[in-house]
Structure 1
Amino acid sequence: MDSSFIFPWKLLFLCIFVAEVTVGHTRYSIPEEVKQGTVVGNLAKDLGLVVSELYRRKLRITSEAGKQYFSVDLGKGELVVSDRIDREELCGQRPSCLLPLELVIDNPLQLHRVEIEIRDTNDNSPSFLTKEKLLKIAELVNPGARFPLESAQDPDVGTNSVRSYLISKNDNFKLTVKNHKDGRKIPELVLEKPLDREKLPVHDLILTAVDGGDPVRSGTSEIKVIVLDNNDNAPQFDRQVYEANISEKATPGTEILQVKATDADEGLNGEIEYFFAEQTTDQILSLFDIEPSTGYIVVKDILDHETNSLHRFDIIARDKGNPKMDGHCSVEIKIVDINDNVPEIIVTSLTTPVPEDSAIGTVIALISAKDPDSGDNGKVTLTVSSKYPFKLNPSVSNHYSLVTNGPLDREKNGHYNVKISATDSGKPPLSSEKIILVELLDVNDNPPVFFQSSYVVYVKENHPPGKILYSVSASDLDFGENAKISYSILNSKVQDVSASSYVYINSDNGSIYSMHSFDYEKLKVFQIQVQAKDQGSPSLSSNATVHVFILDQNDNAPAVIYPSSAALGSLSHQRMPRSAKAGHLVTKVTAVDADSGNNAWISYKLAEATDASLFTVNLYTGEVRTKRAVSEQDDSSQRLLIEIRDDGEPVQSSTVTVSILLEDGLHEPILDLRQKATEPSKKTGRITLYLILSLASVSVLSLLTFLILAVKCIRSSRGSGSCCMRRTDCDDYKNPNRNLQIQLNTDGPIKYVEVLGGDMLSQSQSFRSCMSPMSEYSDFTLIKPSSTTDFKEVISVLDASLPDSTWTFESQQVTNIATTRHQSTITLTKVRPSPLTLPNPWNKQRGPFQCFVKSSELGGFLVE
């Protein structure tokens, strides 16, 4: 019989959507089997979100069901159905069916929990597992006997499940419904009138199950009752329902319980065997077994509380009579949970890489935990190792947010393997771990650093342009563009010219090249500022100083100052009396070398002579003296070729020719010279006049200088063995020495002193600079003659730069009787010096007491 003829179907079906906001999450309610595209609710409105920002903030949903049944319309902020929803497939027979969703929004990161309640609709009809049931009843069974029938199954729940049963019209049976304590309704066939096999051996009945839905649905099963003779007592169980608890770790063969029935009959009619009822499901038959003779129910396969925690089935007790009689009972077995499931860690959302300058509390990831066990066995706690700068903040429903808990530094740790541990509350507890890789995004927080703050470079003069001088290098702890370094020279001046005109730096590798050749005589040392700058935003930089020292090369030959060949042509004419004895000073050759150090140390040598036995030349002073007394046999005209050599490599040299006239009287050589020489021109006479005036002025200036210094020395140090002018006396000294300049040069951390003399041809002077034996560094560098200065200014400069020093000056006047020339010697002594660091190329010699002498008269440098 079709149930549609018994219960009318309604034509209209109304779907009501209800949204309710609970603490920590939002709930919506919809019926199952709604059409795709149906709007569940407006998330933007219910959660207070701005619809225009949903796309930018990347709103997305995840479902624990493993399948996406819903989607979000980002243009309207509405939650819509995207797939077919079958409540019975999702929740089975559970009275409440909730489908949890997680709503994740970025920028800033937010997590919302949304629960969708799936309401049951009457979309399933009641059904019986067996469409035809065979029931054998003895004809001697008394009225009132009850025969349990198979319960109908309806996947729907609540009012949509089975509500009542009906039996087709007949004369012998009626139908009653027994309400089980678990809510099930069990139909029973009750015998009202005795059966008479001879009248009707078979009764065909229709059992109809009706649900309470709207519209009503129904299902039917055919019952065939066969009337038997004799054996009029059916087995009776001592209980209608048997209950037992069994651990899910029980092994196959474990006895669970024993059912027991009795039969009042005797013989075969009273012998009982136990069987599972015909409607028993395959799942029950796979998990349990029953011993037919004893009624013991045993475990047949592995039990799992998480799959099904409660099993219900029926047992039949059947005798061996003819006809056979059955008795029925129900069995309920509860599976006791054990802690056999390891907690599972689920990363819902992860933001990586993370900027290393992220503030404390920045959300890195959203994490949840799941354990299929129940009770304390399913309670999970998440922890993170304290050695990482991260912590877990608990959220709703076993959700946590992983946030920063300290400063991050990519240069120390480029990434973190954050270990998350999940532990349940079971006994013993089970735990699991998950590694989350958190990478750090570099921020330009480290400037480039040079390997040295100051560089010293030595380069020889006259080197070819374009030569590499040095390569500076800097490193940057950052990464990528933030660590890409470019080099440049800061705008600075060298001799009032931009440093970039002297050197060029390769911006990629820091190699410094010369722009042109250097001349030591013009430029001895200079410094440049090099900058290393990264490509970060904003960019960072650091500076280093490069000191470039020009090394002298022997590229200047000695220049003869006296005797001047320009005055009297190519020869220098000297006169000496024939009465001169051995050692007589005939003349003195003076030369200077524009180079410095060994390259400027000059020596004199007699290369050729009319009579080599008569004259000798001092190797260092250039004085020409007689080796013996002049005899009458010696020629009256002697010619000497003197070679002047420096000590450089390669050696540079020059020569001068000296003509000596031997005369008996002072006027005779001049007369002879005039007789031999051609008539001098006006130009030669003018040069001679200039020479005489120059020599006279030098002599007068030297004498005045000596007298002034002598007076000052006598006033300041009476009775002392030396003539000194102290620092305090310098304030009273008003007359400048216009042929001496002492200059302290400071180039960064490198300091050196220059003592500068006057013009080469100005006058015959000697300046000696000496350092005290107390000095730790006893080298002074004396540079070629330059402009003049005042002694007072010189002392002030030295005192300001070297405050722990006391300086004295000694002046000596020496008169050469033979040449009627004066030699002034000024000694500069450093009594208490502070350490003065000089570059190695200038430290040619070291000793307890060292003096460099530069003399326009002697020519070159001497070391005493």
Structure 2
Amino acid sequence: MRTKHCRREMEFSRGSHQESRRLLLSLLLLAAWEAGNGQIRYSVPEEAKHGTFVGRIAQDLGLELAELVPRLFRLASKGRGDLLEVNLQNGILFVNSRIDREELCGRSAECSLHLEVIVDRPLQVFHVEVEVRDINDNPPVFPATQKNLFMAESRPLDSRFPLEGASDADIGENAQLTYRLSPNDYFSLEKPSEDKWAKRLGLVLRKPLDREESLELHLTLTATDGGKPELTGTVQLLVEVLDANDNAPVFDKALYTVKLPENAPNGTLVIKLNASDLDEGANGDIIYSFSTDISPTVKSRFHVDPNTGEIMVKGYIDFEESKSYEILVEGIDKGQLPLSGHCTVVVEVEDTNDNMPVMEFKSLSLPIREDAPLGTVIALISVSDSDSGVNGKVTCSLTPHVPFRLVSTFKNYYSLVLDSALDRESVPSYGVVVTARDGGSPPLSATASVWVEVADVNDNAPAFAQPEHMVFVRENNAPGRHICTLSARDPDAQENARVSYSLVERRVGERALSSYVSVHAESGRVFALQPLDHEELELLQFQVSARDAGVPPLGSNVTLQVFVLDENDNAPALLPGGAGELVPRSLGAGHVVAKVRAVDADSGYNAWLSYELLQPAAAAAGGARGPFRVGLYTGEISTTRALDEADAPRQRLLVLVKDHGEPALTATATVLLSLVESGLAPRASSRAPVGAAGAPTALLDVNVYLIVAICAVSSLLVLTLLLYVALRCAAPPGEGEGAGAAGKPALVCASAVGSWSCSQQRRQRVCSGEGPPKTDLMAFSPSVPDSRDRENQESSSGDSLLKVSLLISFA
């Protein structure tokens, strides 16, 4: 007993040493494989208990324990996903539920769990492979617990009787079976060779049977696997010795191998078997049938004709279900004591391309921001095909003209990544269609689509239609009057496109801009907060800012030029001087004796003044013509005739000064003239000495120079006008008049008479916020004088006028 115990301990020690060597070799191969492929591999034995440690997956993937929960750390597995789990507190991968390698991988030599570790923010995908190691947990199993064999006593020695071997669900050494037969005198056991089709398990007759000596023989066949510890399975063999038939049926071959395409229709002939029997009559007639040891799967897929020996398809043949079928066929004669012959038909199923690829979106990161960097992972796609070889090799492609591409990550996994820059304002979304096509002939394909929405970022500033706007507003407007509406467009979306408006504050003279105008933050409507005065402010130029609500906000400015149009709200104002004059009685007709001076704070026609002499009531009643008249546009009082003694010594003249506004505003001036003798009025004599010979000539020379100057200035103005009209015609058409009209002001006015005159010029300050004050040059056209004045004017060279009228305002 002690010796046997020591031997057992030595064998156990030797087995443990070999197991350690195998484990060390596996770890070395695993480390080398990981270094070459960049993939984490673990190993776990099947049937491990719940909680069994597998590996420190978070540490091996380079992830911090604190970020597992915030980044939504999760496992995804193809097939059963509850076998393994990760403790999010310590990052350890452990066994969650029972792992049965045989249930998971069947008889496959390799068995692994392919895990996908997915973390978000940002999206990362890791591939982990956990090898499931086989343990010897399945004993050998025979098709039945008892098998009946019928043997004639006349069978010669060395006759062979095939037996159905046992099967072991394990793999490797755990499935290496050895057989032994219980001790007996009649049979020996013929063990199978390495080529399972060449030499099968069977009984060999070593001693002639004698039915009279023994009707039945009870044998036990034991199968033992190579696991540690080893497991066994048994089947009871009952041999009944028959009396009669000397010759059993014999097949042409002991082993037939045929190829059959999958999806073969029912009734397809697989093979026609032929067996012969040397006996005659009923002893030589053979009936074909499947062996009683045949599996139910074979019976459901094939049928053998008992008379002809033809094996035909009667069920669905699927390569993906089984790649081959083993059919045991018996040929039994019709003798009184029937004898049988046996053969094996191996049907190898050929694969056809009958399975389309299957696609599945494992993870989606949508929507994607339009400023996402190139290479951003949008989706993880898994593809598979149940076919084998080229029929199961799948390639994926995308619809053209999309800014994405597919990247093969691991085996049949693809990542949909960003390949070019996105612009939501150009294309807000994309319909992406992924096509998976296998390598069969003809190829089969499947499609899957995903709608990729592009999320907006604030990358567009609000933009105005034009950088400047011009608005014309009449002065004396009501407070709060709407001037114009500004609008800026932002192609972004939601908050990034919500535009608010504000003034760019500055000083206008001594006051803030916000005391003149305001802008509504949401609508962009611009209002005048107080009445505007053209005489104080002709041009109000300022900027309005448009800013979106994005983070960070973006904005742009527009320049608004508000031109204040003049209203006739100022009456003419008289200038001091010229109220009383001494006039010599010796003056003749046409002599200037006084001048009324007046100005108007308005501009344009509203500041164009005309003078009119209001005749005394007595002169008007007598119909006599007074000795004085006033120049219509000069305000100069001159004599209409030679003075005589009948004229009153004191002349009181009432002059009406009137502008050309609508309605016209007036002012009156009283001029007192005292008629004196020539010797008592040196001032009058010195101004216009009566009878001086050189006076008309001097006045004529002055008028000639004045006419030449007026012609020169008028020519320059006409040339300027022609050049300006040419430039206007060449420029693109602007907006119409009114609020918000664009372009430079160009006002041209012609009077009814068509004559030129120059008004008194004045300088005004234009508040534009930029540059020095500006000056406007104005030329006004007078009205047509009446017939009486025309007579006197024709006699005076100082009243000559050029017959053209033009008004040009320069801003």
Aligned twin of 2:529: 515
SS of match in other structure, 1:481:
helix
CA distance in structure 2 between the partners assigned to 1:475 and 1:860 by the alignment: 44
* AA in 2 matched with 1:653: L
> TM-score normalized by structure 2?
0.75
2:759 corresponds to 1:853: yes
1:173 shift after superposition: 4.5
Please state if 1:546 is matched with 2:452. Answer: no
Alignment partner of 2:551 out of 521, 537, 546: 537
Which residue of 242, 253, 260 corresponds with 1:239? 253
Does the 8 Å CA contact 1:600/1:860 hold for their aligned counterparts?
no
Distance 2:484 2:344 in 1: 99
Segment of structure 1 superposing worse, 526-535 or 339-348: 339-348
In 2, the alpha carbon distance for the partners of 1:283 and 1:846 equals 116
Contact 2:608 2:759 in 1 (8 A): no
1:304 equivalent to 2:318? Answer yes
Q: Which amino acid aligns with 2:745?
A: P
| Aligned pairs for 1:753-764 within 5 A | none
Counterpart of 2:227 in structure 1: which amino acid? G
Question: Partners in 2 of 1:490 and 1:578 — Cα distance?
Answer: 69
CA distance in 1 between counterparts of 2:614 and 2:708 reads: 41
Bigger drift between 10-19 and 377-386 goes to: 10-19
Structure 2 Cα separation of the partners of residues 549 and 721 of structure 1: 35
Contact 1:530 1:546 (C-alpha < 8 Å) held by counterparts? yes
Matched, 1:596 2:624: no
Where 1:775 maps in the other structure, the secondary structure is helix
- Spell out, residue by residue over 1:131-186, the C-alpha distance to the aligned partner (whole angstroms, 9 max, x if none): 44333333333444332233333322233336234555666545443346248995
Label 1:114 to 1:635 Cα distance change in 2 as closer, same or farther (>3 A): same
The answer on whether the counterparts of 2:586 and 2:677 sit within 8 Å (CA) in structure 1 is no
Secondary structure (helix, strand or coil) at the match of 2:721 reads: coil
Q: Distance in 2 between matches of 1:190 and 1:104?
A: 61
1:451 aligns with 2:458: no
Deviations 1:585-614 (A, max 9, x none): 676554332211222233445667403233
- Cα distance in 2 for partners of 1:846, 1:55 equals 87
Q: Gapped runs of 5+ residues in structure 1?
A: 1-7, 568-572, 671-694, 700-709, 727-767, 780-836
What is the Cα deviation at residue 187 of structure 1? 4.1
Which structure has the highest helix share of the two?
2
1:771–1:778 CA contact under 8 A, matched in 2: no
- For residues 431-465 of structure 1, the C-alpha deviation after alignment (integer angstroms, 9 at most, x for no partner) is 44443444434333322221110011111111122
What is the rounded CA distance, in whole Å, between the counterparts of 2:384 and 2:57 in structure 1?
Answer: 26
Match of 1:322 in 2: 336
Counterparts of 2:480 and 2:402, CA distance in 1: 53
| Partner secondary structure for residue 773 of structure 1 | helix
The 1:370–1:389 alpha-carbon spacing in structure 2 relative to 1, beyond 3 Å, is same
CA gap of 1:143–1:502, structure 2 versus 1, over 3 A, is same
- Correspondence for 2:345 among 331, 334, 337: 331
Aligned residue number for residue 839 of structure 1: 745
Query: Which residue is equivalent to 1:60?
Result: 74
Decide whether aligned partners of structure 1 residues 630 and 298 sit closer, same or farther in structure 2, where only a CA change above 3 A counts. Answer: same
Return the match for 2:192 from 159, 172, 178: 178
- Tell me, yes or no, if the aligned pair for 1:558 and 1:654 is still in contact at 8 Å: yes
User: 8 Å contact 2:582–2:676 — kept in the other structure?
Assistant: no
SS at match of 1:250: coil
Partner secondary structure for residue 71 of structure 1: strand
Distance 1:657 1:74, change over 3 A: closer
Choose 58-67 or 10-19, whichever is displaced more: 10-19
The reply to whether residue 397 of structure 1 matches residue 303 of structure 2 is: no
Contact 2:755-2:781 within 8 A present in 1 as well? no
**Which moved further from structure 2: 428-437 or 307-316?**
428-437
Match of 1:775 among 713, 720, 731: 720
Report matched runs for 1:658-737 at 5 Å: 658=670
2:659 to 629, 639, 646: 646
Cα distance in structure 2, aligned partners of 1:28 and 1:542: 60
Task: Return the alpha-carbon distance in structure 1 between the equivalents of residues 83 and 496 of structure 2.
Answer: 46
Q: Does 1:123 align with 2:127?
A: no
Cα distance in structure 2, aligned partners of 1:131 and 1:846: 131
Q: Is the 1:487–1:532 contact (alpha carbons within 8 Å) kept by the matching residues of 2? A: yes
Q: Which amino acid aligns with 1:278?
A: T
Aligned AA for 2:112?
L
Match of 2:191, SS state, is strand
Which secondary structure state, in structure 1, belongs to the residue aligned with residue 391 of structure 2?
helix
Deviations 1:335-393 (A, max 9, x none): 11223333334444443333433444444444444232222222333344563333444
After TM superposition, the score normalised by the length of structure 1 is 0.71
Residue 607 of structure 2 aligns with an amino acid whose one-letter code is A
Q: State the AA in 2 paired with 1:164.
A: T
**Are the structure 2 counterparts of residues 576 and 318 from structure 1 closer, same or farther at C-alpha, using a change threshold of 3 Å?**
same
> Distance in 2 between the 1:607 and 1:518 partners?
36
- 1:87-486 to 2 correspondence within 5 Å? 87-105=101-119, 110-161=124-175, 163-167=177-181, 172-179=186-193, 181-182=195-196, 187-198=201-212, 200-384=214-398, 387-486=401-500
Query: When you count strand as a share of all residues, which structure comes out higher?
Result: 1
Q: Distance in 2 between matches of 1:280 and 1:473?
A: 87
- Whole-Å Cα distance in 1 between the matches of residues 380 and 781 of structure 2? 85
Instruction: Give the drift of 1:82.
Output: 1.8
For 1:275 and 1:262, the matched residues in 2 are separated by 15
Displacement of 1:286 after TM fit? 2.5
Q: 1:628 to 1:206 in 2, by over 3 A?
A: same
Structure 2 residue 39 is matched with structure 1 residue 39? no
Preserved CA contact (<8 Å) 2:750 2:781: no
Q: Is the 8 A contact 1:584 1:626 kept in 2?
A: yes
Q: Which residue of 1 aligns with 2:693?
A: none
Q: CA RMSD in A?
A: 4.4
**Cα–Cα, structure 1 residues 664 and 350, in superposed 2: closer, same or farther, change >3 Å?**
closer
Change (3 A) 1:855 1:517: closer
Whether the 8 Å contact between 1:643 and 1:653 is mirrored in structure 2 is no
Amino acid of the structure 2 residue aligned with 1:42: R
The residue type paired with residue 656 of structure 1 is T
Contact 2:756 2:779 in 1 (8 A): no
CA distance in 1, matches of 2:264, 2:197: 29
Cα distance in 2 for residues equivalent to 1:362 and 1:310: 46
Change (3 A) 1:299 1:776: farther
For 2:323, give the aligned amino acid.
Answer: S
Q: Deviations over 1:696-752 (max 9, x none)?
A: 9xx9xxxxxxxxxx9xx99xxxx999579x9xxxxxxxxxxxxxxxxxxxxxxxxxx
- Assess if the C-alpha contact under 8 Å between 1:854 and 1:862 holds in 2: no
CA distance in 2, matches of 1:364, 1:487: 38
Secondary structure of residue in 2 paired with 1:521: coil
Could you tell me which amino acid in structure 2 is paired with residue 234 of structure 1?
A: A
Q: Is the 8 A contact 1:71 1:82 kept in 2?
A: yes
Instruction: Give the paired residue count.
Output: 704
Separation of aligned partners in 2, 1:262 and 1:360: 76
Select between 286-295 and 640-649 the one with higher mean Cα deviation. Answer: 640-649
Shift of 1:326: 2.0
Shift, 1:509, TM fit: 2.5
Alignment partners' CA distance in 2, 1:37 and 1:776: 99
